[in-house]
Chain A
Amino acid sequence: MSDIVEKTLTALPGLFLQNQSGGPAAAKASFSSRLGSLIRGITALTSKHEEEKLIQQELSSLKATVSAPATTLKMMKECMVRLIYCEMLGYDASFGYIHAIKLAQQGNLLEKRVGYLAVSLFLHESHELLLLLVNTVVKDLQSTNLVEVCMALTVVSQIFPQEMIPAVLPLIEDKLQHSKEIIRRKAVLALYKFHLIAPNQVQHIHIKFRKALCDRDVGVMAASLHIYLRMIKENSSGYKDLTGSFVTILKQVVGGKLPVDFNYHSVPAPWLQIQLLRILGLLGKDDQRTSELMYDVLDESLRRAELNHNVTYAILFECVHTVYSIYPKSELLEKAAKCIGKFVLSPKINLKYLGLKALTYVIQQDPSLALQHQMTIIECLDHSDPMIKRETLELLYRITNAQNITVIIQKMLEYLHQSKEEYVIVNLVGKIAELAEKYAPDNAWFIQTMNAVFSVGGDVMHPDIPNNFLRLLAEGFDDETEDQQLRLYAVQSYLTLLDVENVFYPQRFLQVMSWVLGEYSYLLDKETPEKVIIKLYKLLMNDSVSSETKAWLIAAVTKLTPQAHSPNIVERLIQEFTISLDTLMRQHAFELKNLHQNVGLMKSLLPVDKSCEDMVVDASLSFLDGFVAEGLSQGAAPYKPHHQRQEEKLSQEKVLNFEPYGLSFSSSGFTGRQSPAGISLGSDISGNSAETGLKETNSLKLEGIKKLWGKEGYLPKKESKTGDESEAPPVPQESVIMENVDQAIIKQDHSQILTQSKEEKEKQLLASSLFVGLGSESTINLLGKADTVSHKFRRKAKVKGKKSEETTSTHNMACSSFSSLSGVAYEEDYYLNTLQDKELKKFSLNSELLDPESLTELPLVKKLSDCSLSKPSLFADNNMEIFHPPQSTAALVAKEISLASSLLEETTEYIHSNLMEVCSNETISMFSYKIWEDDCLLMVLSITNKTDSELKSANLEIFPAEDFKVTEKPGCCLPIMEAESTENFQYSVQMEKPFTEGNLSGFINYEMVDAHSVQLEFSIDLSLLDFIRPLKISTEDFGKLWLSFASDVKQNIKISDSQAALPSALKILQQKLRLHVIDIIGNEGLLACQLLPSIPCLLHCRVHADVLALWFRSSCSSLPDYLLYQCQKVMEES
């Protein structure tokens, strides 16, 4: 009732106003026709400028209207529509935003709707006015009017930011049970949006998503698929159990079980099918068992999608994609390949495009498919549609190898020269550079291609490209003379390029040139350094060169100066630039000037061809010692580092000196000390700085470079070794083409056509040169040899590589030395260990618990293993028996154990879990155990190759997890895994945020001898307990901490009589939960532990008759609960 009164009251002034201006009808007409006249006005305009004027006029009149108190909501609604129009044209209407919110708040349905619409169009997630909307949305979500609820849900999913979700989340959750399907459906989508922006806030409703998936309404189910698609993309292993449901749903849809309403052009719910197919593709990826579930329905889908409508092709495309994503089945692959053919050969351009896309996707698995369609691909290369061309190039990029590289790059460059869009250039240039580095047939070609890349890609390309190129030149590859030739060729080609008049090169290209000329001009015989300097000088005087490039240029000049014989030109340059207005240039010029005066120093500073040598930097600045001593003797105050000064200042102030600040200061002080090069750059003009600076930047830039070299060629071939470049020189291009022409013609004969037009022939020629080396054996036969040249330029393994080699070799050592001896030593350990345990029991329990060296640290194992090592002969015999016939499984297990023990030797100072089998198949098996190190959890995974042949490129990967961080200890990729060998991988796991149960999942893949690759997934459970460590503190500290903790939990548990003695109870806790016993006072015990990295938890226990009172306190709220639960569990068990 009061609502109505309110509405009437707000409407009154408007009515009054309307009456004044000639009745409501007139007002209305004038309002709606104003939009009309505005639009009419705009359409009549001829220039952008006039439009602007008109809109500004309109906006100012709107501004007056919306802020006038007399404006009714109805008029406001009209105003909003006009504002939306102006905003759409790109004019600022921010004055109306607040009124849009007001309209959404106050208006009746119609006005509210416009208000909400305006809000969702005007505001974005981080707009401050959004806060004003929350109440309205909450109110509308609770409304009984469906339309209002719908509007609220829509606006929530459009603009609500993360921090506002809690305000509406419970309301939207309720809507999942709403009786109207449209509401449920919108609620599901709103929740999906929440999942996208704040996944942890909706974690608790995952179970409700499952309910939505099983909703009786198909629309709601379809909406929930959005969520599942997303979640499965993030973590497919968690939803394997739903595969069956998805398959059933798809079966029903395909089988036409849905109401006819859902048909679109008589195809049942095509969008739903597409969604489901995508989900299946993700689920079945590399998972044979899951994939087997879906073969039938995929087959059915492929068969059913026969109708020739656009949307059936959409389904077919998804089907093909899915078939190629999941674990392969030859029948399906065959059908899918046929489908791809249909796409590629279709006259419909959209389908052709998708066909090419599908080809690009499957080409890795099935290169012969590209051969089948080679003529179509060639046609597409010259297609009038640039999109088709681009997709074709993408396809070619995937099939590039050493033999077709020149043709493919040529095609790419042609396209590059035509295109103008920046992102196309960036993308293509990157690909060309990558391919050129990988497969370049010779030096000249490589340099020329890179020249084209630099001059076209210019300043838009990724900075990695020039950096990689320079690094390649500098580091060289294995053959020194080859290196020199490449460099020489680069220098020569740049000099000729610079000779051309009136050509402007991009800045990046000039920088590359200047670096190369500075470093490698000495390789030239004919031209003297002076001539090069003159060229650089000319560039320096050019106005179009940026100051950054000038710095590069002058660095090059500086490098060349010591090699020059007559210094005239250098002197002129110095003169010119010491008076430059650009301070940086002046600085460089002064450096050069000073260096130039001392040629000896200059030569030692700027040696020739030493760009790859590492700089030795005197980080302690010891050369300044004399200077410092002198200063001190003259009474100067000794230097105090920054952090020390800060600390002193703080201690003087004597207020609130918190620890953490001290720490951060010290770190900043530390880094300050570590980079003296930076300081010297600014201060002294000794000349060192220029070069240092340059090298510093160089080396810095190189840090972030992606390793392009690790990438393999497109064909699954294994070249034997790096250095066989000379053994297999690249086949001269002409002969390749000739041979291929022959081949092509023979093929042609075989097919049917004997007479060809000239054009056809050209295409054939192109095809044969493009598809050379692709799959079919005949090609290889014709060529006479297998494709052995793959990486033309192979970069030397740098220090990192060496290191990893070393570590792998030590690994191998460790593994191969899983000598019999240690194997038995382990058993022996075990035995002695139990003995020791018994012995321990003889000690008074009390003293044992309080002894810091006991149990928790178990140094005994180590000692024991030592002693067993000292007398190996004792066990020599039975070793032989166990290990030499490795076929029996028993022996294998024994081997595993022995292996583990060899590793255990290194780590025995920590407690560890038992060995557990994680996964296995007929070739390999994998075991794991946990080592509870002081500061982290160390997972050791050991993989055994059970077969008698070697496995290639074994690779172990751990999926990243949300709750914890996995860092890898050295060595996780093995090029070759020898027969019957075992490899160990160590991962240290650190908790990121507390969780109770988690799992570490990942996969291992390897290649069998026949190059067929196998992947095996595994997952290992982790619990919070793995991250609990004893906390050793004194009783006093315990008291202090106890008071400072807020969250506590108390619980009494009954214990049986046998446990009645407090010490024995505590011992159980100490052993099972790794709590540290601090003190025992009468019938009370104090224990402490910490959750890594550093969340302490304290426990106070008291025994009273047969009741053990546990009292936990911690700074973390969930930890006590969890520990209590664990305590109860262990006490019950024992």
Chain B
Amino acid sequence: MIKAILIFNNHGKPRLSKFYQPYSEDTQQQIIRETFHLVSKRDENVCNFLEGGLLIGGSDNRLIYRHYATLYFVFCVDSSESELGILDLIQVFVETLDKCFENVCELDLIFHVDKVHNILAEMVMGGMVLETNMNEIVTQIDAQNKLEKSEAGLAGAPARAVSAVKNMNLPEIPRNINIGDISIKVPNLPSFK
């Protein structure tokens, strides 16, 4: 079972946190900090698995992470999940985000927290992997958006506002995660012989 899904940037700023087990507010923050601490220390040429610290629940748990440009995607899972399977699930997640946001970047995750959560909810439900097929997830999301639009009527306007914000000139945040051509750009991504 998946215990938590965390996304934070290179500076340890949380961009998304979803816990599938009840932890107190403080513990959640501590877990994010501890996880960032553990993950950020890792070199590029090491494995993508880590033993979870004491906080997340002992030796049975592992952290499986991927690093894309400015963001770390970390899944905390227990022993009933396959490590490599989860690693590919992260990939599916990121590719789905990319498809939904068209060239996803860190800002998308900030300004569309709700949307990202909705995408995640189509993949993982209550800690269980629900869907691993990217096309299926995108179809679901699109269908839901359509339904919402038809009910909400004028849902077009906020999107424009958001795109305006997206084009703002923000300091310090590198723009693109760039997963368009994943196997080349990201060194962490194994392409096995």
Contact = CB atoms under 8 A, between A and B. Distances in A.
A161 to B, nearest CB: 9
Contacts of B51: 387, 390, 423-424
Interface in A304-353: 308-314, 317-318, 346, 348-353
Contact of B170 (A40, A88, A147, A314): A40
A35 B111 contact: yes
A157 B147 contact: no
A311 B88 contact: yes
Nearest to B84: A314
B126 A193 contact: yes
B48 to A, nearest CB: 6
A165 to B, nearest CB: 13
A1057 interface: no
Interface residues of B, number: 74
A192 B127 CA distance: 11
B128 interface: yes
B148 to A, nearest CB: 5
Given A117-B114, A192-B128, A317-B82, A109 B151 contact: yes
Contacts of B80: 229, 233, 278
Given A110-B148, A110-B155, A185-B130, A88 B114 contact: no
A32 B84 contact: no
B59 A310 contact: no
Given A81-B114, A114-B114, A189-B126, A350 B148 contact: no
- B interface majority secondary structure: mixed
A366 interface: no
Given A90-B29, A223-B130, A317 B162 contact: no
A157 B130 CA distance: 12
B46 A36 contact: no
Nearest to A186: B125
A714 interface: no
A559 to B, nearest CB: 37
A33 B165 contact: yes
Interface string B79-105: 010111101110010000000000000
A991 B168 CA distance: 70
B29 A145 contact: no
A92 interface: yes
Interface stretch (A118-126, A521-529, A849-857): A118-126
Contacts of A313: 84, 192
A809 B173 CA distance: 77
Contacts of A274: 82, 85
Interface residues of A, number: 84
Contacts of B16: 88
Contacts of B161: 28-29, 32-33
A637 B142 CA distance: 86
A43 B151 contact: no
A875 interface: no
Given A44-B171, A90-B29, A349 B46 contact: yes
A269 B172 CA distance: 40
Contacts of B84: 310-311, 313-314, 317, 350, 354
B113 A85 contact: yes
A546 to B, nearest CB: 22
A410 interface: no
Contacts of A1122: none
Interface in A424-449: 424, 427
Contact of A182 (B14, B23, B140, B155): B140
B27 to A, nearest CB: 11
B82 A92 contact: no
B22 A271 contact: no
Given A109-B148, A311-B88, A349-B47, A157 B59 contact: no
A278 B24 CA distance: 32
A109 B22 contact: no
Contacts of A352: 47
A39 interface: yes
B132 interface: yes
B69 interface: no
B185 interface: no
A423 B47 contact: no
Nearest to A230: B80
A239 interface: no
Given A33-B165, A352-B47, A124 B140 contact: no
Interface in A175-196: 182, 185-186, 189-190, 192-193
Contacts of A421: 38, 53
- A interface majority secondary structure: helix
B133 A261 contact: yes
B59 A427 contact: yes
Contacts of A154: 121, 125-126
Contacts of A310: 84, 87-88, 190, 192
Interface string A203-244: 000000000000000010001001001000100000000000
Nearest to B132: A271
Given A113-B148, A352-B47, A88 B14 contact: yes
Given A317-B84, A348-B192, A113 B118 contact: yes
A422 interface: yes
B7 to A, nearest CB: 10
A888 to B, nearest CB: 51
B58 interface: yes
Interface string B147-161: 110011001011001
A388 interface: yes
Contacts of B87: 310, 314, 350
A233 B18 CA distance: 27
A756 interface: no
Contacts of B158: 28, 32
A262 interface: yes
A262 B155 CA distance: 33
A735 interface: no
A321 to B, nearest CB: 9
Given A84-B113, A271-B129, A387-B46, A40 B168 contact: yes
Nearest to B89: A271
Contact of B47 (A81, A124, A350): A350
A582 to B, nearest CB: 32
Contacts of B83: 314, 317, 350, 354
Nearest to A313: B84
A88 B89 CA distance: 23
B82 A25 contact: no
A89 interface: yes
A108 B45 CA distance: 49
Contacts of B128: 157, 189, 192-193, 223, 226
A261 B157 CA distance: 34
A600 B144 CA distance: 89
Identify which of A110, A270, A314 gathers the most chain B CB atoms within 10 Å of its CB: A110
14 contacts: A32-B165, A39-B110, A43-B173, A85-B113, A88-B14, A109-B148, A150-B144, A189-B130, A264-B132, A271-B129, A314-B83, A318-B82, A350-B84, A384-B43
The 8 closest A-B pairs by CB, nearest first: A157-B126, A314-B84, A385-B46, A124-B22, A90-B29, A36-B165, A353-B47, A308-B192
Interface of A: 25, 28-29, 32-33, 35-36, 39-40, 43-44, 81, 84-85, 87-90, 92, 108-110, 113-114, 117, 121, 124-126, 145-147, 150, 153-154, 157-158, 182, 185-186, 189-190, 192-193, 219, 223, 226, 229, 233, 261-262, 264, 269-271, 274, 278, 308-314, 317-318, 346, 348-354, 384-385, 387-388, 390, 421-424, 427
Given A39-B111, A81-B114, A269-B132, 10 more contacts: A32-B161, A88-B14, A110-B152, A154-B121, A190-B126, A264-B133, A278-B82, A311-B85, A314-B88, A350-B47
